[in-house]
Amino acid sequence: MIGVEGKCGKIVLFLSALLVVFAGILHHLENSETPAASLRRRMAHDMHALEEGYRQKNRSCFVLGASGETGRELLRELVRRRIFAKITLIGRRRLELEDGAQHSVVQEVVDFEKLDDYAAAFQGHDVGYCCLGTTKAKAGTEGFIRVDHDYVLKSAQLAKAGGCSHFNLESSQGADKTSGFLYLQVKGQVEADIEGLGFERYSIFRPAVLMVDRQESRPAEWVIRKFLSPISFFFPTALSIPIKFVARAMVVNTLIEKGEKVEILENKEIYNLGKNVEK
């Protein structure tokens, strides 16, 4: 009897220690900030002036994946802030645009399997945003690699050839081309391959789990989001992020030009940029 109680006590002790370590890691992630992140956060304070200054440059942009959850939010931000003279959506289907978007938004429908035939769609944009992606569950392993790596890289190549100077990639927390996990490996590989193209400016966003009421049914993601909801209350930047913050951070970061050629924004920085900026 004593033996069983002793074992239970040890298990409880072990689990408590594990919980403390886990909370400690989350606490550390919450409270650390790189100098680059701190600079961006401070610069983002004067949004009005940043927007006005950028508007004067009369730039144009394209968005890949505007029909998806992040892309839709990003498009809303871009239309609302009016920082680009022209916004082109490049996708596999035509979208119903929300009110207010019709004037500044152009749509190019392309076949991603024959992107070379649509090089013209990628020409003449200063800035590109890529929120393209699928899942292994939806597309299978090959389909996932095709979309998240091949389509994304080919689009970046065509954009570079078409004169794009600033490419923004929505990647993922943990992206690493040496990872043993296919998802993280593919994300890391495409990040690296695009870096090799040598854009004047290349911004990589690595959000954690996107908190959003997804239109598409993805049961596994739904379970993860439900599990993360209480954790994100105490540790809002460690493992998840509201999708609005990602979209807002992508736009705000565009306005903050500080001469960095390649920049990687991890989840916490994305969160802080997206949260602290004027709506």
Ligand X SMILES: NC(=O)c1ccc[n+]([C@@H]2O[C@H](COP(=O)([O-])OP(=O)(O)OC[C@H]3O[C@@H](n4cnc5c(N)ncnc54)[C@H](OP(=O)(O)O)[C@@H]3O)[C@@H](O)[C@H]2O)c1
Residues that bind ligand X (CB under 6 A): 65, 67-71, 91-93, 112, 131-134, 147-148, 170, 172, 207, 209-210, 221
Nearest CB to ligand X, comparing residues 50 and 240: 240
Nearest CB to ligand X, comparing residues 33 and 142: 142
Nearest CB to ligand X, comparing residues 43 and 118: 118
The three-class DSSP label of residue 218 is coil
Minimum distance between the CB of residue 68 and ligand X, rounded to whole angstroms? 2
CA distances from 185 to 81, 174, 202, 220, 274 (A): 35, 9, 19, 20, 26
Cα separation, 11 vs 179, whole angstroms: 32
Specify the long-range contacts of residues 134-137, CB closer than 8 Å, at least 24 apart. 135/218, 136/182, 136/183, 137/218, 137/220
Minimum distance between the CB of residue 175 and ligand X, rounded to whole angstroms? 9
Of the candidates 70, 86, 85, the residue with the CA atom closest to the CA atom of residue 130: 70
Catalytic option among 187, 244, 268, 271: 187
Nearest CB to ligand X, comparing residues 197 and 224: 224
Minimum distance between the CB of residue 6 and ligand X, rounded to whole angstroms? 42
Of the candidates 42, 35, 30, the residue with the CA atom closest to the CA atom of residue 252: 42
Of the candidates 63, 248, 92, the residue with the CA atom closest to the CA atom of residue 159: 63
Nearest CB to ligand X, comparing residues 148 and 269: 148
* Residue with the shortest CB distance to ligand X: 68
Contact 63, 131 (CB under 8 A): yes
Nearest CB to ligand X, comparing residues 83 and 190: 190
Minimum distance between the CB of residue 155 and ligand X, rounded to whole angstroms? 10
151 is catalytic: no
187 is catalytic: yes
CA atoms within 13 A on the CB side of 125: 31
Minimum distance between the CB of residue 279 and ligand X, rounded to whole angstroms? 20
Residue 274: how many other CB atoms lie within 10 Å: 25
Minimum distance between the CB of residue 73 and ligand X, rounded to whole angstroms? 8
Burial code (b: 16+ CB inside 10 Å, e: under 16) for 24-40 equals: eebeebeeeeeeebeeb
Q: Which two tokens stand for residue 104?
A: 């500044």
Task: Report, as residue numbers or ranges, the catalytic residues.
Answer: 183, 187
